Structure 1
Amino acid sequence: MTKPPGQFRFLKSRQIPEVTVLHAAMDDFHYDRHAHEEYAFGVTLAGRQDFFSGGRFHRSPPGNVILLNPEEVHDGHSGGDGPLGYVMVYVPPVQLETLFADAAGREAAGRFRSRDTLIQDQALRGAILELVRLVTHRVGSRLDQEHALYRIAARLVQHQGKFQSSGTVSRPEALLKRAKDYILAHLEEDVSLDDLSQEAHLSKYHFLRLFRRQFAMTPHQYVLNCRINAARQALDDGAPPNEVAMRYGFADLSHFNRRFKRIHGMTPYQYQRSIAP
């Protein structure tokens, strides 16, 4: 009998629908490199979590907090002898901007980006696990969950020591942002490398080099990642998986299933059923 690669369970907060919790237990499963549009706050519960992020490889033992900034490319797999177990909370930036700003005492802090990926901090771990508990067991009020989010934001700002924003945008970054914005505006179309390099006002050669250096992905991988993110939102909104597959340019439902599962650990149908009220 073939051993299942892992068990994954997504839950949407009833009080703050934009907040998603993932419970994961896995052994042989490997995530493809991908990026989320949300902040991702995780706690390793059992085993060891090995992953690439921020240009480095990391190893997270039980008790460690993992923090991924929005659009930070990463992968992941079990790195120890035993199965890996962890929880992850995904929170859109808009839900945290005011909290970061208030905790730091300055409006610009809403654009917070952590310089640390692995953090050993009992208070931060406790705040994340409390939010996971509230969402998982569907207990408490919206205020309770917002308070847990505030505790996470405040502890991160405190841990950082001083505020670190996304910084000044350089010319190459600005050019690549034009290409990125073009991708997001044309997710339902057949975008070519010529389209993207022209939008960035770069030769294909320079565009490819700059893009991979900036995003740790090829343009093709990035487009696919953006389509998966958009597809997940469409699934959240109740769109049928076969309709979503066609909308975002997957060859068929089978192709969509394979790509989605390599990033979220389950098929689109299983994901949609997992988050159902």
Structure 2
Amino acid sequence: MSSASRFEFFKSHHVPTLTALKAAIEDFSYDPHAHEEYAFGVTLAGRQDFFSGGQYHRSPPGNVILFNPEEVHDGHSGGAQALDYLMVYAHPEQVTPLFAEVLGRESAAGFRSDQTLIQDAPLRHAILELARLVSTHAGSCIDQENALYQVVERTVQLGGRVQTSRVTQRPDALLDLAKAYIHAHLETDMSLDDISQAAHLSKYHFLRLFRQHYGMTPHQYVINCRINAARAALDQGAPLNEVALRFGFADLSHFNRRFKRIYGMTPYQYQRDITR
């Protein structure tokens, strides 16, 4: 990545877990990754190209991009013009009660939007206003909470579904065991054998099944989860070297390389941004 690409994170001073990103990309490509949060974005200039949900997407200026939690995607600038876009990230713990309120349900855990690329002016304006409040540290707590509610309300109006309790198919249940094992052992030196045994599958069957279901290898998923956990630790002010070693990175240089492929900046730059 050269100075032609710029990334800037902003953390809300009022609403827990709410973060905004402003990015300008010419020569940078994101590795396939997934966030724990809902991600609401707007393409401002250029074209945003990415692969997600088994499809290749192209987002021109004015389009909204919406990623549900754990949706694998990559991303880069498409076309001749530099890409300029913004994203707002909100953790499910923060927005699930809002989804429930809009839907008139007691619980809306697992709500998922039906769309990834959306052409809708009200949603675009709501995201832009929320990003403005967070990135400029403007408004009171209730102002930012209301702006987030407007984003959630319009998202629901455009279509989505709540994942209800159902009988889980065997492959899904076994892969859920693998994911649970990974999340429980992010700070240990786990092996592919360990993970596949937790899922009660042979190693090679597990590899094929996992990639088919999640769009990344188990190794990529482990790295992704460790980076997400490391980011949460950075949010809490943990020292860089401590975070790198805690989550299995050989040294700070290794941590820097992995983190930058997903967030476009080093852990130091990220922590500096969010503590402003």
Q: Closer, same or farther in 2 for the Cα pair 1:122/1:33, shift >3 Å?
A: same
One-letter identity of the residue aligned with 2:161: F
Contact 1:113 1:166 in 2 (8 A): no
Distance 1:106 1:243 in 2: 42
Which residue of the partner structure matches residue 165 of structure 1? 163
2:42 is the counterpart of 1:43? yes
Structure 1 unpaired stretches of 5+: none
* Displacement of 1:238: 0.9
Change (3 A) 1:199 1:59: same
Q: Does 1:73 align with 2:72?
A: yes
- Aligned-partner Cα distance in 2 for 1:84–1:144: 29
* Alignment of structure 1 residues 48-59 onto 2, 5 Å: 48-59=47-58
- The 5 Å alignment of 1:1-277 reads 3-160=2-159, 163-165=161-163, 168=166, 169-277=168-276
What's the CA shift string for 1:114-152, capped at 9, x where partnerless? 121000111111111111111111111111111111111
Deviation readout 1:79-137 (Å, 9 max, x if unpaired): 02111000000000011111111111223434210121000111111111111111111
With over 3 angstroms needed to count, the CA separation of the structure-2 counterparts of 1:69 and 1:167, relative to structure 1, is: farther
Identify unmatched segments of 5+ residues in structure 2: none
How far, CA to CA, are the matches of 1:121 and 1:3 in structure 2? 33
Deviation for aligned residue 1:166: 6.3
Q: Secondary structure at the match of 1:163?
A: strand
For residue 220 of structure 1, report the CA deviation from its aligned partner: 0.5
Q: Following the alignment from structure 1 to structure 2, what is the Cα–Cα distance between the partners of residues 95 and 116? A: 21
Q: In the comparison of the two structures, how many residue pairs are matched?
A: 275
In structure 2, relative to structure 1, the CA distance for the partners of 1:247 and 1:5 (3 Å cut) is farther
Give distance in 1, aligned partners of 2:127 and 2:26. Answer: 23
TM-score normalized by structure 2?
A: 0.96
Using the alignment, how far apart are the partners of 2:20 and 2:58 within structure 1? 22
| CA distance in 1: counterparts of 2:143 and 2:110, whole angstroms | 24
CA distance in 2 between counterparts of 1:21 and 1:88 reads 6
Q: Are residues 108 and 16 of structure 1, via their aligned partners in 2, closer, same or farther at CA, if it must alter by over 3 Å? A: closer
Residues 132-183 of structure 1 show CA distances to partners (whole Å, capped at 9, x for unaligned) of 11111111111111111111111111110x6343673322111111111111
Q: Could you list the per-position Cα deviations for residues 11-65 of structure 1 after superposition, in whole angstroms to 9, with x for gaps in the alignment? A: 0000013100000001010000000000000000000000011111100000000
SS of residue paired to 2:113:
coil
Distance, in Å, in 1 between the alignment partners of 2:252 and 2:16 is: 27
Q: Give secondary structure in 2 for the equivalent of 1:109.
A: coil
Contact 1:112 1:166 in 2 (8 A): no
Cα distance in 2, alignment partners of residues 11 and 176 from structure 1: 34
Q: Conserved in 1, the CA contact under 8 Å of 2:16 and 2:94?
A: no
Q: Which whole-Å CA distance do the structure 2 matches of 1:108 and 1:239 have between them?
A: 33
The alignment's TM-score, normalised by the length of structure 1, stands at: 0.96
Please list every run of at least 4 consecutive aligned residues from structure 1 whose deviation after the TM superposition is greater than 6 angstroms: none
Residues 215-234 of structure 1: CA deviation (Å, up to 9, x unaligned):
11111100000000011111
Change beyond 3 A, Cα 1:209–1:31: same
